[in-house]
């Protein structure tokens, strides 16, 4: 067994063969030439980690490093996807070996949090938990009132990216993206057939949203998932009937983060009843609790009295996390620590002074992966 390690140039065809065998719909979506071109992008090669046996790539995990900004406080995150093992090599712990390697590597590179595009047992055994809290709601044209503004949607072109970027940068909880971000996205995001819409009012951009059929669904599926949005929430709702009509869809499913109270208020005013849930199919893994809280120091300073801020401390030894306020201490494993920090219905309760001091801070708002999906 050779690895985990980065793939060499002469191993990319074998890696592509593994990905295509695991997800045959790639071959239906792309030509072989397109797939070869995309797998050679630096974003796919630089942090891919593979295991090779007898000259063939038998297991793989793709990793991407990004940053997230929460109310102006940025920190590093990592995302993993493309997790697969050849059928004849499964049940030998190869994916777990690569995953632990990636966890160690991304933590050493300064990542505080891991996004995972899945929730199977492999991830949960490594302390991944459901991403949330989110609220889900399903909307149909009949459940939406007539538009109350002049907001009109149109399909996005490549020239619109700077406009979308400005709208996204105004979001309080978001990924930090560069000007060439679209050219570096993972090729399997395109496989979901995303539909990008810019919403304009009197010719001025006011919002955008990205819709897509459910993952793996037939192209004719009458459902659209809201994958990402930014800007005026009212304009988004005003544009939804036109978008559903243009795509031939009968309903839209929205996952709204619990911190987006403006959007949730608008949905409530329509008589919608969002149901508590988590982000569609995603889990997260806390990597470095004390590092995360150091990065968010300015955010905490804006929320907490100085006396509480001075008394708070955080530590982590292996997979055990420590929360402390003065003399009061509480220990949790990584999974429960993530539930506390990012919110979950089954999150354990912090005791006494810790609960009082941290109640203005937790749960932290967590942006959906959206275009950063991997």
Identify the pLDDT of residue 191: 62
Residue 57 in this model has a pLDDT that exceeds 80: yes
Model confidence pLDDT, tens digit, residues 10-28: 998 899 899 888 888 777 7
* 187 & 166 share domain: yes
Is pLDDT above 90 for 40? no
Token pair listed for 220 = 């004719």
Strands 320-325 and 173-176: unpaired
Tell me: the pLDDT tens digits for 252-277? 999 999 999 999 999 998 889 898 88
Question: For residue 31, is pLDDT > 90?
Answer: no
247-251, long-range: CB within 8 Å, 24+ apart, which pairs?
247/195, 247/211, 248/220, 248/222, 249/211, 249/222, 249/223, 249/224, 250/140, 250/141, 250/222, 250/223, 251/138, 251/139, 251/140, 251/222, 251/223, 251/224
304 and 259 both lie in a single domain: no
Is the domain of 120 the same as that of 94? yes
Q: What percent of the chain has pLDDT over 90?
A: 68
Q: Specify the higher pLDDT residue, 312 or 26.
A: 312
Report the distance separating Cα 122 and Cα 239, nearest Å.
40
Which of 214, 246, 277 is a domain's end point? 277
Look at residue 150 in the predicted model and tell me its pLDDT. 85
Same domain, 269 and 283: no
Is residue 206 domain-shared with residue 314, that is, in the same domain?
no
C-alpha dihedral sign at 180, 83, 121, 286: negative
Higher pLDDT, 188 or 76: 76
- With a cut of 70, say whether residue 223 has pLDDT above it: yes
In three-state secondary structure terms, 260 is coil
pLDDT band at 219; cut points 50, 70, 90:
low
- 283 and 229 inside one domain: no
pLDDT of residue 257: 93
What CATH number should be reported for the domain holding residue 220? 3.40.630.30
Average pLDDT of the segment spanning 320-348: 95
8 Å CB contact between 67 and 76: yes
**Residue at a domain's end among 251, 277, 303:** 277
What is the structure's pLDDT at 26?
A: 76
Domain final position from 244, 277, 310: 277
Check whether residue 271 and residue 298 sit in a common domain: no
| pLDDT at residue 39 in the model | 80
Give the distance, in angstroms, between the CA of residue 48 and the centroid of all CA atoms in the same chain: 18
Q: How many domains does the chain have?
A: 2
310 vs 326: CA distance, rounded Å: 9
Residue carrying the six token digits 């695991």: 22
> For 119-130, what is each residue's pLDDT tens digit?
899 999 999 999
Gyration radius of the chain over CA positions: 22
- Most confident stretch, 28-32, 86-90, 131-135, 274-278: 86-90
Portion of the chain with pLDDT greater than 70, in percent: 98
Q: Judge if 115 and 208 occupy the same domain.
A: no
Q: What DSSP string runs through 263-294? A: HHHHHHHTT--PEEE--TT-EEEE--HHHHHH
| One domain, residues 113 and 238 | no
Name the residue with higher pLDDT: 45 or 92: 92
On whether both 92 and 200 belong to a single domain, the answer is no
- 250 and 189 in a common domain: yes
Beta strands in 268-361 (DSSP E): 275-277, 283-286, 312-317, 320-325, 328-333
- With a CB cutoff of 8 Å and minimum separation 6, the contacts of 140 are 244, 250, 251, 252
Res 38: pLDDT: 78
pLDDT at residue 210 in the model: 93
The parent domain of residue 226 ranges over 134-277
Q: Is 90 exceeded by the pLDDT of residue 32?
A: no
Q: In angstroms, rounded to a whole number, what is the distance separating the alpha carbons of residues 301 and 214?
A: 40
Q: Are residues 18 and 91 in the same domain?
A: yes
Measure the CA–CA gap between 16 and 57, rounded to whole angstroms.
9
Q: How far is CA 310 from each of CA 300, 314, 357, rounded to the nearest angstrom?
A: 11, 12, 11
């Amino acid at each position: 067994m050779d690895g985990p390690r980065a793939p060499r140039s002469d191993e990319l065809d074998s890696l592509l063969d593994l990905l295509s065998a695991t997800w045959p719909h790639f071959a239906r979506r792309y030509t072989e030439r397109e797939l070869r071109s995309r797998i050679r992008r630096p974003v796919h090669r630089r942090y891919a980690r593979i295991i090779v046996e007898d000259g063939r790539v038998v297991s793989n995990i793709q990793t991407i490093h990004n940053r997230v900004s929460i109310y102006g406080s940025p920190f590093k995150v990592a995302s993993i996807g493309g997790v697969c093992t050849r059928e004849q090599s499964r049940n030998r712990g190869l994916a777990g070996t690569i995953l632990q390697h990636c966890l160690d590597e991304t933590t050493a590179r300064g990542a505080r949090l891991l996004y995972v595009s899945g929730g199977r047992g492999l991830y949960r055994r490594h302390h991944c938990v459901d991403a949330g809290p989110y609220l889900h709601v399903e909307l149909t044209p009949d459940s939406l009132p007539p538009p109350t503004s002049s907001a009109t949607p149109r399909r996005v072109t490549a020239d619109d990216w700077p406009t979308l970027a400005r709208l996204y940068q105004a979001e309080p909880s978001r990924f930090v993206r560069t000007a060439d971000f679209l050219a570096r996205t993972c090729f399997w995001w395109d496989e979901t057939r995303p539909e990008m819409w810019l919403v304009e009012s009197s010719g001025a951009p006011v919002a955008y949203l990205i819709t897509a059929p459910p993952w793996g669904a037939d192209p004719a599926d009458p459902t659209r998932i809201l994958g990402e949005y930014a800007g005026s929430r009212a304009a988004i709702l005003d544009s939804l009937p036109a978008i559903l009509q243009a795509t031939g869809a009968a309903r839209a499913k929205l996952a709204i983060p619990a911190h987006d109270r403006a959007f949730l208020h608008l949905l409530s005013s329509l008589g919608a009843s969002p149901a508590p849930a988590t982000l569609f199919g995603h889990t997260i893994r806390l990597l470095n609790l004390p590092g995360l809280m150091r990065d968010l120091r300015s955010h905490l300073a804006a929320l907490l009295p100085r006396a509480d801020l001075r008394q708070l401390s955080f530590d982590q030894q292996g997979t055990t996390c420590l929360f402390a306020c003065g003399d009061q201490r509480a220990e949790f494993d990584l999974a429960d620590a993530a539930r506390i920090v990012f919110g979950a219905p089954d999150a354990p309760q912090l005791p006494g002074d810790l609960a009082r001091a941290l109640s203005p801070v937790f749960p932290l708002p967590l942006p959906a992966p959206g275009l950063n999906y991997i």
